[in-house]
Amino acid sequence: MAGRRALKAVLIDLSGTLHVEDTAVPGAQDALNRLRQASVAVKFVTNTTKESKRNLLERLQRLNFDLQEKEIFTSLSAARSLLEQKQHKPLLLVEDSALEDFTGIDTSEPDAVVIGLAPDHFNYQSLNKAFRMILDGAPLIAIHKARYYKRKDGLALGPGPFVTGLEYATDCKATVVGKPEKTFFTQALSDLGCSPSEAVMIGDDARDDVGGAQNAGMLGILVKTGKYRDGDERKIDPPPYLTCNSFPDAVEHILRNLL
């Protein structure tokens, strides 16, 4: 099946796939440069909500990755689009470093709850404020619902458990805007001029990266770096198109077999 697709685009996860915090995955910069020399569009898609797109770009450029801000599509971008479309005034439960991606959004007298990964703000008072707003009718918007992610000191809780706690307490369902939502992937591809069947996704999260991409009609390649744990490839159905050791191996496969 894969061999018959005319591959036009590669979507690449960032944290856990190209880097973990301030350390690059070995060989990832060279592999990205090789991929860019092929006749394929490249876009970086991330659920990262700990920092703004600009901060993320600066981190990656310090690690000698060749990319531009316009090539990065984040779940923060998707959340902002939804807020503008619905004209919500949000209570933003995100890290302070991510707030600049919401510049210009009215947050006075909030009428919606937006929750990302916000370790500095996940305390009883802030979560209880969100709980009361949702009970009073405010929609709950989850930037994403990842269970956990990889830091250099080990695995760490993602926003998913906190979103699920609010869903449980308020008996409501959150609107999720990031991976693995189908709309996230189609939005990411929209300006590349290709359909999901002409794209492949590379990431370290079996459910959110690979499962989400494959449900949207793309191929998914799971890498065994970042948050990957043994057996993750068996947690989704259908299984990943390919599971490989790291991003350079994924690029090698694409160059040899999909182009």
* Residue 67 neighbours by CB under 8 Å, 6+ apart: 32, 44, 57, 60, 61
pTM to 2 decimal places: 0.85
- Determine the 3-state secondary structure of 139 from DSSP: coil
What is the helix, strand, coil percentage profile of the chain, to 5?
Answer: 40, 20, 40
Note down the domain range covering 206. Answer: 9-47+180-258
* CA atoms within 13 Å, Cβ hemisphere of 145: 18
Q: Are residues 172 and 187 in the same domain?
A: no
For residue 2, pLDDT beyond 50: no
Higher pLDDT, 120 or 1: 120
Residue 60 lies in a domain: no
Q: What is the mean pLDDT of residues 59-81?
A: 92
Residue 55 lies in a domain: no
Residue 53 lies in a domain: no
Chosen domain end from 130, 155, 176: 176
Whole-number pLDDT of residue 136: 96
Residue 73: phi and psi, rounded to 5, are -115, 120
Q: Are residues 185 and 172 in the same domain?
A: no
Higher pLDDT, 123 or 39: 123
| 8 A C-beta contact, residue 215 and residue 182 | yes
Residue 61 lies in a domain: no
The DSSP call for residue 179 is T
Chosen domain end from 146, 161, 176: 176
Cβ burial of 238 (10 Å; 0-12, 13-18, 19+) is exposed
Q: What is the mean pLDDT of residues 150-164?
A: 91
Q: Are residues 169 and 198 in the same domain?
A: no
Residue 36 lies in a domain: yes
Q: Among 179-183, 209-213, 224-228, whose mean pLDDT is lowest? A: 179-183
Q: Tokens 């503008």 — which residue?
A: 84
Whole-number pLDDT of residue 55: 87
Q: Are residues 254 and 191 in the same domain?
A: yes
Residue 52 lies in a domain: no
Q: What is the pLDDT of residues 25-69, one digit of tens each?
A: 999 999 999 999 998 999 999 988 878 888 889 999 999 999 998
Regarding beta strands 23-24 and 19-20, do their DSSP bridges make them parallel or antiparallel, or are they unpaired? antiparallel
Chosen domain end from 176, 196, 211: 176
Whole-number pLDDT of residue 151: 86
Whole-number pLDDT of residue 3: 44
Q: What is the pLDDT of residues 228-251, one digit of tens each?
A: 999 999 999 999 999 999 999 999
For residue 1, pLDDT beyond 50: no
pLDDT band for position 204 (cuts 50, 70, 90): very high
Q: Are residues 26 and 116 in the same domain?
A: no
Residue 170 lies in a domain: yes
* Count of structural domains within the chain: 2
Whole-number pLDDT of residue 5: 65
**Beta-bridge mates of residue 43:** 11
Residue 88 lies in a domain: yes
| 8 A C-beta contact, residue 110 and residue 130 | no
Residue 24: phi and psi, rounded to 5, are -75, 150
Higher pLDDT, 78 or 50: 78
169: CATH:
3.40.50.1000
For residue 4, pLDDT beyond 60: no
Task: Indicate if the alpha-carbon torsion angle 224, 225, 230, 236 is positive or negative.
Answer: negative
Q: Are residues 221 and 202 in the same domain?
A: yes
Q: What is the mean pLDDT of residues 223-229?
A: 95
Q: Are residues 229 and 246 in the same domain?
A: yes
